[in-house]
Amino acid sequence: MIDQIKITSALISVYSKEGIEEIAKTLEAHNVHIYSTGGTFDFLKSKGIAATSIEEVTTYPSILGGRVKTLHPKVFGGILWRRGSLSDVKDVEHYDIPSIDLVIVDLYPFEKTVAGTDNEEEIIEKIDIGGISLIRAAAKNYRHVVVIPAAGFYKPLMKLLGEKNGFTNVEDRRYFAAQAFNISSHYDTQIFNYFNRSEKIAAFKQSQMISATMRYGENPHQKGSFFGSLPENFEQLHGKELSYNNIVDIDAAINLIAEFHEPSVAIIKHTNPCGVACRETIKEAYLDALACDNLSAFGGIVVANRRIDMETAGELNKLFFEILLAPEYEKNALEVLKSKKNRIILRQNPLSFSSRQFKSILNGVLEQDRDLKAETETDFQFVTKKRPSVAETSELLFANKIVKHLKSNTIVISKNRQLIGCGMGQTSRVDAMKQAILKAKTFGFDLKGAVMASDAFFPFADSVEIAHGAGIAAVIQPGGSIRDADSVKFCDENDMAMVFTGIRHFKH
């Protein structure tokens, strides 16, 4: 293996011409012979930079409307030949193949095109063929060739040229090769996922090029990273760097608050809501969400779906919380909230998430549809003699929106559009029921006339028996137990309303 190699020739084929003039002039200053294609050649020529067109090397013009330019043995032979191989040297000399030591490519912007149009013809034409082939060939032959697979690597190339006078070692070349395969694999994944929107091939392929290193993972002894673009989700207006756990909680907060359209506030702790309320104003919603469980709210995440005004900011400022997430802030309110140095304040951006979600498990990945089902009254199966009133129906739907965002087994108790008690993460539904009642009573709520939601069916009538004893008037649950009749019978005998939805909301 040859370690130190001086770059004497380069092939430049780029979609975006930004930054390439400086690169080409630096290469020219190092006496590097430049080959280039089509629009790149014309651009370099317009800047007074000497270059040889690929057409001159191959003796073939660009054909098929530019689809074929570099796909030729004289181009790929110049990249792929092994400098220490006598047979390769013989072939290169026999076929008069020029040596290429550096390949610079900027691919057609396929991903950006897909994001900007539904025109399939335009999208297909942005699938790069020659460029991706050049990248792969140069990366494969990294022992002898340097590959620059995207404009983001111009800066390290310039540094290399400046510090090493055009020489590279095998570590340099292997680094760029690894980056090249990162670029090419991501590019291919985006193309596959575009086609798989309609074809639905059973394959799991995800790729994220943007990453952020967390201070640590779930715990200080664990390393953690986020792959994706956080600024697409929100703008950080104040506070310390986000942690792994912060991001997990923010995800839970965004998904929960999206369920509500009227002025609403939720308070999240370890991904579980400990306070939720809907009111006429965002201040009232916050105060009633806090009243649900002001103990758990300490150090939690507050999320609102309306602008934070000065009055609300004044109330929020009395609580120690880690993160506040809202769509907008009054200027003076923001200044009040910034009074705590480490408090994280985020402005949420409108963003639609993928309808699919996945997690690593065992030696593979589980993938599923997101739980986007939001039941309405049309989903109700009225199984008891007594039907819920109009007010109770609204309350049942409110409670059911919350129950799907808590860890199973879970029970939610609500009253007057306010979460007043919840039990979550329990190994039995009875325990979740008891925990919810205890929570409500601990914080002084009167359960008489309240409603209850369950994420899954009741295997026995014991849960509705306990609910009735606490004063709960109406129940919403999926149904589906072989003993549903027992629960229905108890409700009928005790003047309780219960509806089935047929939809389970387990969350693990």
Length of the chain: 508
Residues annotated as catalytic are 140, 270
3-state secondary structure 99-111: CCCEEEEECCCHH
For residue 376, CA distances in Å to 109, 471, 476, 503 come to: 42, 25, 12, 11
Helix, strand or coil for residue 255? helix
Q: What number is the average pLDDT over the span 281-298?
A: 97
Helix, strand or coil for residue 181? helix
Contact between 438 and 462 under an 8 Å Cβ cutoff? The reply is no
**Is pLDDT above 80 for 66?**
no
**Is pLDDT above 70 for 45?**
yes
How is 477-493 classified by DSSP, letter by letter? E----TTHHHHHHHHHH
HSE-up (13 A, CA, CB side) for residue 292: 34
Name all contacts of 74-82 with Cβ < 8 Å and 24+ positions apart.
74/98, 75/11, 75/100, 75/134, 76/133, 76/134, 76/137, 78/9, 78/11, 79/11, 79/103, 79/134, 79/137, 79/138, 79/141, 79/145, 80/137, 80/140, 80/141, 81/141, 81/144, 82/141, 82/143, 82/144
Residues 156-168 pLDDT 10s? 999 999 999 889 9
pLDDT band at 1 (very low <50, low <70, confident <90, very high): low
Residues 410-432 pLDDT 10s? 999 999 999 999 999 999 999 99
User: Which residue has tokens 């011409």?
Assistant: 17
pLDDT at 169: 93
Closest Cα to residue 264, out of 320, 222, 228, 304?
304
pLDDT at 315: 97
Q: What number is the average pLDDT over the span 131-159?
A: 95
Cα distance between the two ends of the chain: 52
pLDDT higher at 234 or 352: 234
pLDDT band at 223 (very low <50, low <70, confident <90, very high): very high
For residue 222, CA distances in Å to 46, 216, 218, 364, 395 come to: 53, 6, 7, 20, 42
pLDDT at 62: 80
Residues 352-365 pLDDT 10s? 888 889 999 999 99
pLDDT band at 131 (very low <50, low <70, confident <90, very high): very high
Q: What is the C-alpha separation between 178 and 68, in angstroms, rounded? A: 26
For residue 303, CA distances in Å to 309, 315, 475 come to: 14, 14, 27
Question: What percentage of the chain carries pLDDT values higher than 90?
Answer: 86
Q: What number is the average pLDDT over the span 224-231?
A: 92
**Is pLDDT above 70 for 2?**
no
The DSSP code for 155 is H
pLDDT at 247: 95
pLDDT at 24: 94
Supply the mean pLDDT for the chain. Answer: 94
pLDDT at 67: 81
Q: What number is the average pLDDT over the span 136-165?
A: 94
Closest Cα to residue 257, out of 248, 266, 249?
266
Longest dimension (CA), the chain: 97
pTM of the shown model:
0.86
Q: What is the C-alpha separation between 75 and 39, in angstroms, rounded? A: 17
Q: What is the C-alpha separation between 429 and 319, in angstroms, rounded? A: 32
* Range in 83-92, 397-406, 444-453, 471-480 with the lowest mean pLDDT: 83-92
User: Which residue has tokens 């994706």?
Assistant: 228
pLDDT at 63: 78
Phi, psi of 304 (to 5 degrees): -130, 155
